[in-house]
């Protein structure tokens, strides 16, 4: 007996995807996850472009997480030219990232993932019965948007972010408003954690052999090293030696492995890794949870997102206090081009992001490579889907499709 399940269009994900599952004689015969992005050739487009143009070009890879792409590319440019930014610029970048995470995670949690668990086809349908829950999601997202607009220049593709820092910096009054917003949103974030901790997550405890994230003092910091859950630590210069990309014959996104194995990145990997380094306010919330971390349940990535936005909001409050006391400060340091290669690695909302550029002595790009979270997630999602299908053979086609979509959405690919 042969069963073939096709999900031709994955809904409520920020990218575009499809899944094909073939079961024959009660055995899984084939599973293909297709991320159907149109070829965009960003690595080719950046060639011969000036270093100053690159961040604005590559930010178009993603409108939701444009901040991460602009910052990763700026970090790579600065690395190539030996530029060191001031502590104030680095803190302002971190505050910008706080806004990005609040906006992106709130969008995912309330509008993409939550309808599955509440039994609704969409957040719009859910709002009829749970208007206050949906309103909470909008509020958290709006706080993040305001931070991105203030520091980045716009909520989408802001032009204030550049190699060397920022064209302009917020005033003391603006920073105080950000701090007030972050204080106001804390109760809503804690309510979000309670909500997502209370959900009925399907049992899916299938340990990931490898998990990866940037190695730094805290999950908000930028780092020069990357760590694996098996104890391996490698530098940003070694990224392409460890993360191997292969072209898939059924997906337009490349498929990445480490040591020929799928690896987990993103909020679940970060919370698992940084659990002991979180702020005390976040640790107190973790202590109250019915679910625990580290977790091997991939569906707990949703709860991990809620934990992250609390951690980042708390750190944002601390950052604004430092920046208020440091004001006025310069938002930009000089950038002088020279021949060289630079690497930028940072944690984006969906996982570890890598940019690498080589420049000639005039500052024009001669080669580039960008490895996105989507490319790195394909192999591990396929691995989880195989495990899910093996456990759910008794489920109807409709139920199996639903479970598969919930699992993929948890990764927010």
Which residues define the annotated binding site for Ni(2+)? Answer: 65
166-175 long-range contacts (CB < 8 A, ≥24 apart) are 166/89, 166/92, 166/331, 166/332, 167/331, 167/332, 168/331, 169/92, 169/328, 169/329, 169/330, 169/331, 170/92, 171/327, 172/324, 172/327, 174/150, 175/320, 175/323, 175/324, 175/327
CA–CA distance, 92 with 170 (Å, rounded to integer): 9
CA–CA distance, 302 with 305 (Å, rounded to integer): 5
CA–CA distance, 391 with 409 (Å, rounded to integer): 19
* Beta-strand pair 225-228/233-235: antiparallel
CA–CA distance, 83 with 92 (Å, rounded to integer): 17
Cα→Cα distances 76→64, 66, 158, Å: 21, 15, 19
Binding residues for Fe cation: 65
Closest CA to 189 of 260, 102, 283: 102
In contact, 272 and 293? CB cutoff 8 Å: yes
In contact, 26 and 409? CB cutoff 8 Å: no
CA–CA distance, 250 with 21 (Å, rounded to integer): 13
Strands lying side by side in the sheet with 225-228: 212-215, 225-228, 233-235
CA–CA distance, 318 with 331 (Å, rounded to integer): 19
Between CA 208 and CA 96, with CA 112 as vertex, the angle to 5 degrees is 80
List the structure tokens of 63.
């409108």
Binding residues for Mg(2+): 43, 62, 370
Binding residues: 43, 62, 65, 370
CA–CA distance, 27 with 343 (Å, rounded to integer): 44
Return the half-sphere exposure (C-beta side, CA atoms, 13 A cut-off) of residue 66. Answer: 23
CA–CA distance, 210 with 243 (Å, rounded to integer): 12
């Amino acid at each position: 007996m042969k069963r073939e399940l096709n999900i031709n269009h994955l809904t409520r994900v920020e990218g575009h995807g499809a899944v094909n599952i073939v079961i024959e004689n009660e055995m899984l015969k084939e599973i293909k996850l297709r991320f159907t992005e149109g070829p965009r050739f960003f690595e080719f487009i950046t060639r011969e472009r000036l270093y100053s143009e690159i961040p604005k070009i590559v930010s178009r890879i993603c409108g939701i997480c444009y901040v991460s792409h602009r910052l990763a590319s700026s970090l790579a440019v600065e690395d190539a030219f030996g530029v060191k930014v001031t502590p104030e610029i680095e803190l302002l970048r971190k505050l910008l990232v706080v806004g990005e995470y609040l906006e992106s995670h709130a969008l995912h949690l309330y509008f993409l993932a939550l309808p599955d668990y509440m039994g609704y086809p969409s957040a719009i349908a859910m709002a009829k019965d749970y208007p206050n829950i949906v309103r909470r999601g909008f509020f958290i997202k709006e706080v993040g948007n305001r931070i991105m607009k203030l520091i980045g220049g716009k909520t989408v593709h802001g032009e204030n972010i550049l190699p060397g820092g920022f064209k302009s910096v917020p005033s003391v009054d603006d920073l105080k408003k950000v701090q007030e917003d972050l204080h106001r949103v804390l109760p809503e974030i804690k309510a979000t954690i309670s909500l997502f901790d209370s959900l009925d997550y399907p049992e899916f405890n299938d340990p990931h052999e490898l998990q990866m994230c940037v190695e730094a003092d805290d999950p908000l910091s930028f780092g020069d090293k990357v760590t694996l859950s098996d104890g391996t630590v490698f530098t940003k210069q070694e990224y392409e030696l460890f993360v191997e990309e292969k072209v898939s014959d059924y997906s337009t996104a490349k498929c990445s492995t480490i040591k020929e194995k799928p690896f987990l990145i993103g909020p679940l990997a970060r919370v698992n890794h940084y659990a002991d380094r979180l702020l005390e306010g976040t640790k107190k919330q973790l202590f109250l949870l019915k679910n625990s971390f580290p977790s091997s349940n991939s569906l707990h990535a949703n709860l991990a997102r809620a934990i992250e936005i609390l951690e980042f909001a708390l750190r944002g409050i601390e950052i604004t206090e430092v920046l208020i006391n440091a004001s006025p400060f310069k938002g930009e340091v000089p950038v002088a081009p020279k021949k060289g290669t630079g690497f930028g690695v940072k944690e984006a909302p969906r996982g570890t992001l890598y940019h690498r550029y080589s420049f000639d002595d005039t500052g024009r790009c001669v080669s580039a490579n960008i490895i996105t979270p989507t490319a790195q997630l394909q192999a591990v999602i396929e691995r989880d889907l195989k495990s899910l299908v093996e456990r759910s053979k008794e489920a109807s086609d409709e139920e199996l499709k639903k479970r598969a979509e919930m699992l993929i959405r948890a990764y927010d690919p």
